[in-house]
Structure 1
Amino acid sequence: MNAFAAATDALFADPNLGETALWQAGGIGPGVPVRVIRRRPDAVVEFGASRALMATVLIDLRRTEAATIDEGDLVVIGADTFKVIGTPSSDAVGLVLTCEAVKV
């Protein structure tokens, strides 16, 4: 394991950042336990000359736990269920996948 992988594992294990979740491929089945980091940054969207502030949900997962996560999959965090709405993107070193999601 290299230093980046060790640091990533430490971040996901931290109870202040990481959360236990279930990943349901295709939105079905009992799910696979994973650790996630949930982020809710605001995005500024422009419509012609006006701008709107939209709340977004991003969910980070370790590639080692959910390498095949894809659009349409579900991530259940506590009582909240989120649907992945786009193709996940990877970080620069390929350790973390970031998924844009909506609450269902």
Structure 2
Amino acid sequence: MNAFAAAIDLLFEDPNMAVDALYRAGGEGSGTPVRVIRKAPDQLANFGDSRFVTDTLTLDLRVSEVPGIATGDTIEIAGELFEVRSEPVRDRERLVWSTEGRPL
């Protein structure tokens, strides 16, 4: 394990940063326990000549816990279910998946 992987593990183990969740490939099955960092930044969107602010939900998961993730997978956090809505992308070090979630 390198220093970056150790730092990511510390972030995901921090109860102030990450939460317990269940990951389900294809939204099926009993789920795999994972830790998730949940972010909800505002995002600017353009529509014609107008700009407006929209809510977003970004979910970060460790690649070591979820080697492959795809749109249509689900993540359950404290009884609340989210669908992976956008194509997941990895960070530069290939340690963390980031994807947009949609409440179901």
Instruction: Give the TM-score, by structure 1 length.
Output: 0.98
Q: CA deviation at 1:8?
A: 0.1
Query: Identity rate of aligned residues, in percent?
Result: 46
Q: Secondary structure at the match of 1:71?
A: coil
- For residues 1-104 of structure 1, what are the structure 2 equivalents within 5 Å? 1-104=1-104
Q: CA deviation at 1:12?
A: 0.2
Distance 1:23 1:56 in 2: 20
Distance 2:48 2:89 in 1: 28
Range with bigger deviation, 46-55 or 69-78:
46-55
Distance 1:13 1:3 in 2: 15
Distance 1:90 1:57 in 2: 16
Instruction: Give the TM-score, by structure 2 length.
Output: 0.98
Letter in 1 for 2:16: N
Q: CA deviation at 1:64?
A: 0.4
Q: Deviations over 1:14-42 (max 9, x none)?
A: 00001000000000100000001000011
Q: Secondary structure at the match of 2:8?
A: helix
Structure 1 runs (4+) greater than 4 angstroms displaced: none
For structure 1, the 5+ residue unaligned runs are: none
Query: Alignment RMSD, CA only?
Result: 0.6
Q: CA deviation at 1:48?
A: 1.5
